[in-house]
Chains A and B, each alone.
Chain A
Amino acid sequence: MTAPTAVEARNVVKAFGQGEVAVRALDDVSVGIRRGEFFTLLGPSGCGKTTLLRLIAGFEAPTSGTILLDGRDITADPPNRRPINTVFQSYALFPHLTVAENVGFGLRMQGKPRAEIGNVTARMLALVRLEALAGRRVAQLSGGQQQRVALARALAPQPRVLLLDEPLSALDLKLRKEMQIELKRLQHETGITFVFVTHDQEEALTMSDRIGVMSAGRILQIGPPREIYTRPANRFVASFIGETNFLPARHAGGRVTLEAGGELAVEGGPEGQVTVAVRPEQVRLVPPDEPGALRATIRNLVYFGTDTHCHLALADGTEVVARLQSSASDDPGLEPGQPAGLRFAPGAVQLLGD
C-alpha cells in the first residue's frame, strides 16, 4: 500500500520572460510526492529542479497549473502561510541572531509561547547535536555546523514538507558523506516528507526513496533508485545516472541486430531503430572465439583499485566500456591490442526507443 500524497504538482508550467523570449523553466510538470518519503529531484543545472522547489515553497507562482498540499490547493498561498520549510543552498542564516534564536525564529513568528519555543529549540539542537553552541552567533560556526543550524531551523516548526535545495553542495566530500547519513537519520526520526534537490546522481541514489529525474523543464522518469538505475526510461536518464554503453541497433521480433555486427536476444522493448543500453559492470569479457560473443579489441585499460575499466572497440570502431571487478589473484593478464569476446549479463540489456 502506498502512502497518501503529501505534496503534488499538477500540470505546472513556469515561464520566465514574455512572448518570444519567454523561457519555460518548467514545462507541464506533474509529480506526486508521498507522505513521509525522501524524494529527490535530480538533474543537471538549469533543468528546472530548483524552480519546482521554489514553486512548492511559494517563492514563485506558476504560470499555469496547481500545487496541492495534502489535497488542498495552495497555489495562491504566500510562503508564510504554507506549512512547508526550506533549507537553502546558502543556508541563509540570520547573522544578527544566535544559533538558538535562529532555530526558534519560525516558532516565534508563529506566535508560539516562550516556553514551547525554548523546549522545541533545545530538542532541535539536540537532534542536530549542536546543544553546546546554542548561544553562539552563526558567523562563528563552521560550514557543517551552519548546515545543521539551517536544518534545525527548518525542522523546528514541524513542517508538513521539508524542502532541501542542494544543501550539501558547499561542503567538502567527507563532511558531505556524513551529512548524507545525518539527513537520512533526521528524516527517519522526524517522519517528515523530504524533497531534496541535487545534481549529484550518487547522492540521489544513496539517499532517496524515489527519484524524479529532470531535464530541460520536464520530469523524465520517477521511480526508486534501483529502477532508475537498472531500467532507465530513455537515453538521457541512462547517461545522466551512472555510465552506460550505447549501441545503435535494429529490433525485430525478439532479435536485436547491432549495427556494429552481432546479435542479441532480448525480451520486449520497442521495435525498429533502437539503442541498446548496457552498464559497464554488466559487460563480461570472454575468450574471443566463444560462440555468440561479440568480437572486440582491447584499446585501453584503466586501473581504479576496486575495479579496472576496460575500453574496447567493436568491429566498426564503436567503443564499449567493461568494468571488471578486481579479484584477489589480480592481473587478469589483459593487454591493449588483444582480441576479446563480449557478453552482456542476462536481463541487463535495455532497449531505448529514439
Chain B
Amino acid sequence: MARRDSARSGWLLSAPALAILFLAASGPLLVVLIYSFLVKGQYGGVIWEFSSDAWFEVFFTRDIFSDEVSLADAHLAIFWRSVKLSLMTTAITFAVGFPTAWFIATRPPNRRALWLFLITIPFWTNLLIRTFAINEVIRNEGILNTLLIRAGLIGRPIQILYTDTAVLIGMTYVYLPLMVLPLFAAIDRFDMRLLEAAYDLYASRWQVLRRIILPLVRPGIVAGSILVFVPSLGAYVTPRVLGGGKNMMIGNFIELQFGQGRNWPLGAALSMLLLAIVMVALLIYVRAASRESGHG
C-alpha cells in the first residue's frame, strides 16, 4: 500500500519535468517530422498536402532538362564534411583536453578550483563574439599572419579563414571545455596509487597509460566525446563566421532551407536526418566503448 503510494507520488513529482520534456522536445520534433512530409510553399512555409519529395531531395537530384535522377552530391558532401570535421574536433579536443584535465586533477585541491574556473571563463562571453575574435586572429591581416610576417617566417599571409581548418580551430576552441570538464571528473576519481602499482609491476609509461589510465577514465572520455561530437555536428555559428559561404556544415545548410532556400520540408527532412546520424553514431560509440572495457 505504502509502496504504491510512493510510486504514485513519484510520478506526480516528475510530472512537470515530463510535461516540459514532451512539450519542449518531443512536440517540436513531431512538428519537424510532419513538415518533412509536406509540400513546400512558394514563399516559405508549407502546404498541407502529403509528399515525400523533401526526403527524395535529400539524397537525389532530378536534372531540370532530362529528368535524370542522380545522387545529390552537394548534400552528401556537406554531410560528410560535417561528420569529418566533428570527428576531428572530438579527436583534437581529446588530445589537447586530456593532458589539461590531468594537469588540473593532479594540482593541490585548493588550486584545482582556480584552474577549473579559468577553463569556464570563455562561457562568460557570447559565442558569436568569441568566434569573431578568432576570425580577427586568423584572417589574412590578423594577428597571427602579421606576427608571422614580422618574424620573417612567411612571405605572405597564410589563408586560414574560410577554410575547413578555420572551422576546425573555431570548433576546437569552443568545445574544448566540454571535453576537459568530464575528463577532469573522471581523472579526479582515478586512484593515483594504481600508477605506482602498475609501475612497480614492470609496466612502461606507455603501458600504464594504455592499460590502467585510459580504461579507468573511459566514462569521462565517452561523456566528453559525446558532449563535443553532438554539438559539433549541428554547429551553426562557427562554420558560418569562419567557414564563409562555401564551407557549409549541416546546420548552415538547414538554416539555408528555412531562409533563402524557402524549402521548409527539405530543411525539416535534413534536420531529422541529422538527428538520426547523431543517434546512430552515439549507439555505435557507446556500444564499442562498453565492449572494449569488458562490461558489455
Contacts and interface: CB of A to CB of B under 8 A. Distances in A.
Contact of A80 (B194, B202, B294): B202
B4 interface: no
B68 interface: no
A284 B193 CA distance: 51
Given A96-B293, A96-B294, A86 B193 contact: no
A173 interface: no
B193 A85 contact: no
Nearest to B215: A96
A238 B45 CA distance: 95
B197 interface: yes
A94 B202 contact: no
A105 B199 contact: no
A80 B293 contact: no
Nearest to B203: A109
A95 B212 CA distance: 9
A90 B193 CA distance: 8
Contact of B216 (A81, A96, A154): A96
B5 interface: no
Contacts of B204: 80, 109
B207 interface: yes
A153 B215 contact: no
Contact of A94 (B196, B200, B212, B293): B212
A44 to B, nearest CB: 23
B191 interface: yes
Nearest to B197: A92
A92 B294 contact: no
Contacts of A79: 196, 199-200
A86 B215 contact: no
A164 B202 CA distance: 17
B196 A59 contact: yes
B166 to A, nearest CB: 40
B193 A109 contact: no
Contact of B194 (A59, A94, A109): A94
B191 A80 contact: no
A94 B191 CA distance: 10
A240 interface: no
Interface in A80-128: 80-81, 84-86, 88, 90, 92-96, 105-106, 109-110
A298 interface: no
Nearest to B216: A96
A39 B196 CA distance: 23
Interface string B209-236: 0011001100000000000000000000
B201 interface: yes
A81 B205 CA distance: 12
A93 B212 CA distance: 11
B200 A80 contact: yes
A55 interface: no
A157 interface: yes
A88 B215 contact: no
A94 B197 CA distance: 9
Interface in A34-60: 57-59
A78 interface: yes
Contact of B198 (A81, A105, A110, A157): A105
A92 B193 contact: yes
A86 B216 contact: no
Contact of A92 (B196, B211, B293): B196
A86 B200 contact: yes
A243 to B, nearest CB: 36
A78 B199 contact: yes
B196 A80 contact: no
Nearest to A95: B216
Contacts of B212: 94
A109 B201 CA distance: 7
Nearest to A91: B197
Contacts of B207: 109
B194 A92 contact: yes
A86 B177 CA distance: 38
Contacts of A153: 201
A106 B201 contact: yes
A157 B198 CA distance: 13
- Most chain A CB within a 10 A radius of its CB, from B191, B200, B204: B200
A241 B215 CA distance: 46
A164 B199 CA distance: 16
B216 A80 contact: no
Interface string B282-296: 000000000001100
B193 A88 contact: yes
Contact of B197 (A88, A96, A157): A88
Interface string B4-15: 000000000000
A59 B216 CA distance: 22
B215 to A, nearest CB: 5
A109 B293 contact: no
B196 A157 contact: no
A157 B207 CA distance: 17
10 contacts: A79-B196, A80-B202, A88-B196, A88-B197, A94-B194, A94-B197, A105-B201, A105-B203, A154-B201, A157-B202
What 3 A-B pairs are tightest by C-beta distance, nearest first?
A: A106-B201, A92-B197, A109-B202
Interface of A: 57-59, 78-81, 84-86, 88, 90, 92-96, 105-106, 109-110, 153-154, 157
Interface of B: 191, 193-194, 196-204, 207, 211-212, 215-216, 293-294
Given A80-B199, A88-B193, A154-B200, 10 more contacts: A80-B204, A84-B200, A90-B193, A92-B194, A96-B294, A109-B198, A109-B202, A109-B203, A109-B207, A110-B202
